[in-house]
Amino acid sequence: MNDTSENTDPVIGVVKWFDPVKGFGFVVADAGGPDILLHVNVLRNFGQSSVADGARVELEVQRTERGVQATQVLSLLPPESDDSVGLSDIAALDPKVVAEAPLEPARVKWFDKGKGFGFANVFGRRDDIFLHMEVLRRSGLSDLAPGEALALRVIEGKRGHMAAEVFAWEAALDPQDA
DSSP structural state of residue 79: P
Asked if 6-77 and 88-177 have one fold, the answer is yes
- Read off the pLDDT of residues 84-131 as tens digits, 9 standing for 90 and up: 445 666 666 677 878 888 999 999 999 988 888 999 999 888 889 999
Which pTM does this prediction carry? 0.61
Residue 175 has pLDDT above 60, yes or no: no
User: Which CATH number describes the domain made up of 88-177?
Assistant: 2.40.50.140
Q: What local confidence, expressed as pLDDT, does residue 25 receive?
A: 92
| Contact status, residue 76 vs residue 57, Cβ threshold 8 Å | yes
- pLDDT in the model for residue 115: 84
* CB contact at 8 A, 106 and 150: yes
User: What pLDDT shows up at residue 71?
Assistant: 96
Beta bridge partners of 161: 156
Share of the chain above pLDDT 70, in %: 84
Kindly tell me if the per-residue pLDDT of 152 is higher than 70.
yes
Q: How many CB atoms lie within 10 A of CB 68?
A: 20
In the structure, what pLDDT confidence band is assigned to residue 174 with cuts at 50, 70 and 90? low
Band of residue 140 on the pLDDT scale cut at 50, 70, 90: confident
**Sign of the CA dihedral 178, 95, 77, 145?**
positive
Highest-scoring range by mean pLDDT, 77-86, 139-148, 166-175: 139-148
Can you give the pLDDT at residue 91?
A: 65
Rg over CA atoms, the chain: 17
Please state the domain extents for the chain.
6-77, 88-177
CATH 2.40.50.140 fits 6-77, yes or no: yes
Return d(Cα 93, Cα 13) in angstroms, integer: 30
Strands in 21-116 per DSSP E: 24-29, 36-39, 56-64, 67-77, 103-112
Q: What is the pLDDT of residues 59-83, one digit of tens each?
A: 999 999 889 999 999 998 888 755 4
Q: Of residues 2 and 130, which shows the higher confidence score?
A: 130
